[in-house]
Amino acid sequence: MASTFLERLKRGDVMIADGATGTNHQANGLLLGVPSEEWVFDEPEKVTALHRAFVDAGSDIILTCTFGGTRIRMRDSKYAAQTRELNIRAAELARSAAQAREGVFVAGSMGPTGMLMEPFGELTHAECAENYAEQARALTDGGVDFLLLETFFALEEAQAAIEGVQRASQLPLVVSFSYDQGTRTMMGLAPAQVVHAIAPLGVAAIGANCGKTLDAMEKIVAEMRAQNTGIPIWSKPNAGLPRMIGDVASYDVGPHDMGEYAQKYIAAGAQIVGGCCGNTPAHVAAIAAAVRNHSPQGTLRAQR
């Protein structure tokens, strides 16, 4: 019988997450300004093909195409009235691709709303929690293995989102912040602050994604590990910073460097490694090869 996501975390297995969704879809024809989520209905074959490419590259975890899938973030989308259906369908597309190889997990991706919480903005705690409850419910009904809150930068929004998710679903929850100011989030949060605020909330793993540099991600992982909470760490950095070539963002970090840094993240304490913006299936293949070749048995265990 195949192990569950929580069983593999508890065992200490290092797992490979996938790469970018948005930048890969843009390279495949998604127009700037068009949300990736709309391709769930408009170009489902392309969505499934990217998932399958990541599976073939060695991903143990693939993320649904639902980063902006909360009702509040989809309010200007042509599919605003079909938020639940879109999230369910996205989960089904990812699940169909995951079946290409045994042991691949589907994570229900949930990004920030794009709004500031009160008192800095108009978003209330209750409205925020309900948006994530609705999305989590749909992703769960669509068949994901666990839920992922990613690219958060404010504690207040993350805490409301966690409340909403846990109200709606019993699935494991991973929470990942974006440290886009080096080793601080846009709101000035340090990794240690995030860990101490989020660890007591019953999450399966805590981590970081996006960000500025590969070196900064190594420091972030090390700081999280130093808190000694015992909670597994998720690490999914960008392939460097983007440069615009026409209408397409180009990233300078190649597959080889991503593979080398994945090993550094594991040494620093990460248990799940992958790539965010700019990471292609080739990057993921390099990460998977570097991680698995690092272990003589091919199955690496996280440091405790």
Confirm whether 46 is domain-assigned: yes
Q: Which amino acid is at 101?
A: R
Confirm whether 113 is domain-assigned: yes
Gyration radius of the chain over CA positions: 18
Confirm whether 160 is domain-assigned: yes
Q: Work out how many domains the chain is built from and give that number.
A: 1
pLDDT digits (tens, 9 = 90+) for 137-189: 999 999 999 999 999 999 999 999 999 999 999 999 999 999 999 999 999 99
Of 118-122, 133-137, 197-201, 206-210, minimum mean pLDDT range: 118-122
Confirm whether 298 is domain-assigned: no
Confirm whether 303 is domain-assigned: no
- pLDDT above 50: residue 296: no
Greater confidence (49 vs 1) lies with 49
- Residue 287, token pair as written in the block: 């990460």
Query: 205 forms bridges with which residues in the sheet?
Result: 174
Confirm whether 300 is domain-assigned: no
Confirm whether 302 is domain-assigned: no
Question: What range defines the domain where residue 201 resides?
Answer: 5-293
Confirm whether 304 is domain-assigned: no
The pLDDT mean for the chain works out to 94
CATH of the domain at 173: 3.20.20.330
Residues across the chain: 304
pLDDT digits (tens, 9 = 90+) for 104-118: 999 999 999 999 999
Q: How confident is the model at residue 303 (pLDDT cuts 50, 70, 90)?
A: low
SS (H, E, C) the chain: CCCCHHHHHHHCECEEECCCCHHHHHHCCCCCCCCHHHHHHHCHHHHHHHHHHHHHHCCCEEECCCCCCCCCCCCCCCCHHHHHHHHHHHHHHHHHHHCCCCCCEEEEEECCCCCCECCCCCECHHHHHHHHHHHHHHHHHHCCCEEEEEEECCHHHHHHHHHHHHHHCCCCEEEEECCCCCCCCCCCCCHHHHHHHHHHHCCCEEEEEECCCHHHHHHHHHHHHCCCCCCCEEEEECCCCEEEECCEEEECCCHHHHHHHHHHHHHHCCCEECCCCCCCHHHHHHHHHHHHHCCCCCCCECCC
